[in-house]
């Protein structure tokens, strides 16, 4: 078993290194080497290879996540935790493993279809596409074996699984069963039961996609084909790349140095420490793409800092919880990238559009923190120019990171994926060789941790795309559009309903699957009601950002309770004022388009 684990870790590290190296080498060859040596060869088909390496890192990370019981779910407990018992838990486990089995069957069918072509497609010279596609059934098979292995000590679970597999295989092979809507309702109930009991999100999304396609006599491979299409899209590689850069920063002492910079620059102001918290959290969330990493990685550092400066416990808890997702509107935010990929609109335009609303949210929260942040002692730092410049000089390499990202995106010299790869290399060199916070022997473990998170996210994105494809084929967006046209005639009433809908979605779903599933539904509505697609993107992300704080099940609320070991009622009470303030700010962003579109136009 240890040998198998080492192989899985080694594969994840190797794929990630290639994922960084290829676009970085492309950039260096094009911008530095070829201007002087014009005959220097390019890397053939590197962009297509990078896209397919994203597929590999997604599955290698998901395999490790399944082994470590870290596949993302909506529940506080994992379905495959050995301490989880009970009849409903066993049923949910059977359902989850059976769906994984169906994914193996469907993905194998996809590869066989690819192999049947007389003129096979190639990813690169002498590298057929089916070779990369084979990673899908192989990945699902290994995940299947990891899930099975967690049940080997429970004869009841394993026996029930075998019995259920036999019954369901018999049922789905009968064409008459498809025409019985009871099967559709009952299967949907089982899937909902599974996610309540802690089943991985990708299991439930894939399950619904498979169920609906099967009901319409469409092969399971259709779900896999759509998943494959989204995961190998050209810009999706930026998600693992920027996330790895964020992990390198989070594992180093960059947060300490940045705190020193912001304390020296803003500590003299009334409410200076909360502003520091907001800036630090915004910086890290923009790079890592999710509030979870920010709260878990920085919470233990920021909470004592606020307490030391005299801020009360409830205030500090609320501020850190609210700040965890404050950077999702700043480039290179991964949700912004994914929205652009899903909606088919310019990612650069979305990046520009998010800057002013993101700053606006920080200003609003800073103002509220100043007005409400009662301290036990009125203590202020004295501004010292020498100290401020000195701390900036010490941290200069890390302060350049946002400038490098923005120049790479908007300077016209690098593609988005190349900018992400360059950022990873830059952060790695700075933290390992200049500041020497990271040792080379620590790098593999950091890469594996990053791959685990990325794999959990990418497998959700792929699974959600299969369900989305069914909804598009079934013309559900058009049905919703026709329905809305009949009952909603005002653009502003539509925006009110959209705000309410997105808040509910934001607190019930992770942001990545929400984007894949919901964007195709609301994009036609936005066009019909005359809402600029770029403005709609920022409305969407801002609302989902607020959804993280929406009681009772917003993700930030649970993460904060876990990180600070507090009861949920304490977290609710601490975050409620921030929720109200951010709700007002989101409404301003929604109903005042120039705030979003000023830099774009």
CA-closest candidate to residue 364, choices 326, 390, 392, 393: 326
What share of the chain in percent tops pLDDT 90?
17
Same domain, 323 and 411: yes
Q: How confident is the model at residue 56 (pLDDT cuts 50, 70, 90)?
A: very high
pTM, to two decimals: 0.81
Yes or no: say if 480 and 520 are a contact pair by the CB < 8 Å rule.
no
Alpha carbon of residue 392 to chain centroid: 31
**Which of 231, 252, 281 is where one domain is finished?**
231
Q: What is the pLDDT of residues 38-47, one digit of tens each?
A: 777 788 888 8
Strand-pair partners of 73: 200
Same domain, 316 and 396: yes
Alpha carbon of residue 282 to chain centroid: 16
- The yes-or-no verdict on residue 21 having pLDDT over 90 is yes
Question: Mean pLDDT of all residues in the chain?
Answer: 82
Instruction: Tell me the average pLDDT across 50-58.
Output: 91
Residue 91 CB: number of other CB atoms within 10 A? 17
Of 71-85, 371-385, 404-418, the poorest mean pLDDT is in 371-385
Yes or no: say if 531 and 575 are a contact pair by the CB < 8 Å rule.
no
Q: Encoding tokens for residue 316?
A: 């500090």
- Hunting for tokens 């959290």 — which residue is that? 281
Kindly report whether the peptide bond that precedes residue 332 is cis, defined as omega within 30 degrees of 0. yes
Yes or no: say if 556 and 548 are a contact pair by the CB < 8 Å rule.
yes
Same domain, 98 and 242: no
Query: How far is residue 351 from each of residues 112, 176, 354, 494, 537, measured CA to CA in Å?
Result: 40, 51, 5, 25, 10
Provide the number of structural domains found in the chain: 2
Alpha-carbon dihedral angle through residues 416, 418, 419, 422, given to the nearest 10 degrees: 160
User: How far is the C-alpha of 550 from the C-alpha of 144, rounded, in Å?
Assistant: 34
Same domain, 278 and 203: no
Same domain, 17 and 147: yes
**Counting every residue, how long is the chain?**
601
Q: What is the pLDDT of residues 346-364, one digit of tens each?
A: 888 998 999 999 999 988 9
Yes or no: say if 506 and 545 are a contact pair by the CB < 8 Å rule.
yes
Q: What is the pLDDT of residues 254-307, one digit of tens each?
A: 878 887 887 777 767 666 778 888 888 887 777 665 555 677 667 777 888 888
Q: Encoding tokens for residue 537?
A: 């993107």
What share of the chain in percent tops pLDDT 70?
87
User: How far is the C-alpha of 6 from the C-alpha of 8, rounded, in Å?
Assistant: 5
Same domain, 67 and 152: yes
Helices and strands: H and E segment counts in the chain: 29, 2
DSSP conformation letters of 291-355: HHHHHHHHHHHHHHHHHHTTB-HHHHHHHHHHHTTTTTTSTT-HHHHHHHHHHT--HHHHHHHHH
Q: Encoding tokens for residue 386?
A: 């020498």
Q: Which residue segment(s) compose the domain that 569 sits in? A: 238-597
Yes or no: say if 545 and 329 are a contact pair by the CB < 8 Å rule.
yes
The SS3 assignment for 122 reads: strand
Same domain, 357 and 376: yes
Instruction: Tell me the average pLDDT across 559-577.
Output: 78
Q: What is the pLDDT of residues 166-197, one digit of tens each?
A: 656 555 555 555 556 677 787 888 888 888 88
The SS3 assignment for 43 reads: coil
**Which of 208, 231, 254 is where one domain is finished?**
231
Same domain, 215 and 337: no
Same domain, 187 and 244: no
Q: What is the pLDDT of residues 80-101, one digit of tens each?
A: 776 677 777 778 888 888 899 8
User: How far is the C-alpha of 145 from the C-alpha of 150, rounded, in Å?
Assistant: 9
- The yes-or-no verdict on residue 308 having pLDDT over 80 is no
CB-based contacts of 207: which residues, under 8 Å, 6+ apart? 95, 99, 187, 191, 194
Strand-pair partners of 200: 73
CB-based contacts of 176: which residues, under 8 Å, 6+ apart? none
- pLDDT value at position 60? 93
Yes or no: say if 319 and 274 are a contact pair by the CB < 8 Å rule.
yes
Strand-pair partners of 375: 311
Burial environment of residue 119 by CB neighbours within 10 A (0 to 12, 13 to 18, 19 or more): exposed
Same domain, 192 and 264: no
CA-closest candidate to residue 225, choices 343, 99, 106, 135: 106
**Which of 175, 197, 231 is where one domain is finished?**
231
Same domain, 225 and 287: no
Yes or no: say if 51 and 237 are a contact pair by the CB < 8 Å rule.
yes
Query: How far is residue 115 from each of residues 110, 121, 284, 398, measured CA to CA in Å?
Result: 9, 10, 44, 48
Residue 584 CB: number of other CB atoms within 10 A? 11
Query: How far is residue 85 from each of residues 90, 197, 302, 506, measured CA to CA in Å?
Result: 7, 10, 37, 30
- pLDDT value at position 376? 47
User: How far is the C-alpha of 347 from the C-alpha of 339, rounded, in Å?
Assistant: 8
Same domain, 454 and 575: yes
- pLDDT value at position 153? 55
Alpha-carbon dihedral angle through residues 263, 268, 271, 274, given to the nearest 10 degrees: 0
Strand-pair partners of 122: 128
The SS3 assignment for 129 reads: helix
Q: Encoding tokens for residue 400?
A: 């350049």
């Amino acid at each position: 078993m240890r040998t198998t684990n080492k192989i899985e870790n080694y594969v994840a590290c190797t794929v990630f290194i290639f994922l960084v190296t290829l676009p970085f080498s492309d950039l260096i060859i094009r911008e530095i080497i070829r201007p002087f040596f014009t005959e220097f060869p390019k890397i053939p088909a590197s962009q297509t290879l990078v896209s397919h390496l994203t597929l590999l890192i997604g599955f290698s990370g998901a395999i490790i996540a399944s082994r470590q019981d870290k596949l993302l779910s909506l529940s506080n407990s994992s379905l495959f935790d050995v301490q989880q018992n009970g009849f409903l838990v066993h049923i949910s486990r059977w359902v989850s493993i059976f769906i994984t089995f169906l994914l193996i069957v469907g993905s194998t069918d996809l590869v066989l279809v690819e192999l049947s072509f007389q003129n096979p497609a190639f990813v690169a010279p002498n590298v057929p596409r089916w070779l990369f596609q084979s990673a899908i059934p192989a990945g699902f098979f290994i995940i299947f074996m990891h899930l099975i292995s967690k049940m080997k000590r429970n004869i009841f679970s394993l026996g029930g699984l075998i019995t259920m597999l036999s019954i369901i295989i018999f049922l789905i092979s009968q064409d008459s069963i498809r025409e019985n809507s009871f099967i559709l309702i009952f299967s949907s109930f089982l899937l909902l039961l599974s996610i309540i009991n802690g089943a991985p999100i990708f299991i439930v999304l894939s399950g619904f996609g498979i169920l609906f396609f099967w009901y319409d006599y469409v092969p399971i491979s259709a779900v896999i084909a759509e998943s494959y299409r989204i995961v190998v899209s050209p810009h999706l590689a930026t998600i693992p790349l920027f996330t790895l850069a964020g992990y390198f920063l989070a594992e180093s002492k960059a947060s300490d140095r940045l705190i020193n910079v912001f304390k020296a620059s803003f500590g003299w102001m009334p409410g200076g420490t909360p502003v520091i918290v907001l800036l630090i959290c915004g910086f890290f969330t923009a790079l890592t793409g999710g509030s979870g990493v920010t709260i878990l990685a920085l919470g233990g550092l920021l909470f004592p800092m606020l307490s030391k400066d005299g801020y009360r416990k409830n205030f500090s808890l609320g501020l850190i919880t609210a700040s965890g997702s404050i950077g999702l509107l700043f480039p290179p935010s991964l949700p912004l990238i994914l929205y652009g990929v899903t909606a088919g609109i310019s990612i650069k335009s979305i990046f520009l559009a998010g800057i002013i609303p993101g700053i606006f949210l920080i200003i609003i929260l800073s103002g509220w923190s100043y007005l409400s942040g009662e301290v036990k002692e009125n203590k202020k730092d004295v501004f010292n120019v020498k100290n401020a410049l000195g701390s900036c000089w010490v941290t200069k390499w890390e302060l350049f990171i946002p400038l490098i990202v923005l120049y790479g995106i908007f300077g016209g010299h690098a593609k988005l994926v190349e900018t992400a790869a360059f950022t990873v290399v830059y952060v790695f060199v700075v933290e390992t060789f200049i500041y020497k916070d990271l040792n080379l022997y620590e790098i593999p473990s950091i890469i594996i941790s990053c791959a685990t998170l990325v794999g959990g996210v990418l497998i959700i994105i792929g699974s959600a795309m299969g369900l989305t494809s069914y909804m598009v084929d079934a013309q559900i967006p058009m049905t919703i559009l026709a329905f809305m046209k009949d009952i909603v005639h005002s653009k502003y009433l539509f925006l009110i309903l959209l705000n309410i809908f997105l808040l509910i979605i934001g607190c019930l779903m992770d942001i990545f699957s929400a984007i894949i599933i919901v964007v195709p539904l609301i994009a036609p509505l936005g066009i019909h009601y005359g809402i600029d697609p770029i403005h709609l993107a920022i409305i969407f992300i801002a609302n989902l950002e607020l959804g993280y704080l929406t009681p009772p099940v917003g993700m930030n609320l649970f993460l904060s309770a876990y990180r600070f070991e507090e009861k949920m009622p304490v977290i609710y009470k601490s975050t409620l004022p921030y929720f109200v303030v951010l709700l007002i700010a989101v409404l301003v962003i929604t109903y005042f388009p120039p705030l979003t579109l000023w830099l774009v136009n």
